[in-house]
Amino acid sequence: MKINKIKEMSSPDLEKELGELKSELFKLRFSLATHGLDNPMKIKEVKKDIARIKTVLTEREMAGENK
């Protein structure tokens, strides 16, 4: 997910997306531990998306902005 797309989303949408990404990360890690993944780099991508969303939410919180 690109940072521009993340910045365009509202805070409630970002919270929802964050929850979905965290559950996806759990599933990926579980799958890796049990039978392996076709693309282990997917875990890295999901972790980076989570970090991007958290960064944007923190920036908004610091600015006192609730989009």
| CATH number for the domain that contains residue 31 | 1.10.287.310
Residue 42 binned pLDDT confidence (cut-offs 50, 70, 90) = very high
pLDDT of residue 37: 87
Q: For residue 67, is pLDDT > 60?
A: no
What total of structural domains would you count in the chain?
1
Inter-residue contact 50 to 25 (CB < 8 Å): yes
Distance between CA atoms of 63 and 60, rounded to whole angstroms?
5
Tell me the C-alpha to C-alpha distance, in Å, between residue 39 and each of 13, 24, 36.
Answer: 27, 14, 9
Domain span at residue 30? 3-63
pLDDT of residue 36: 86
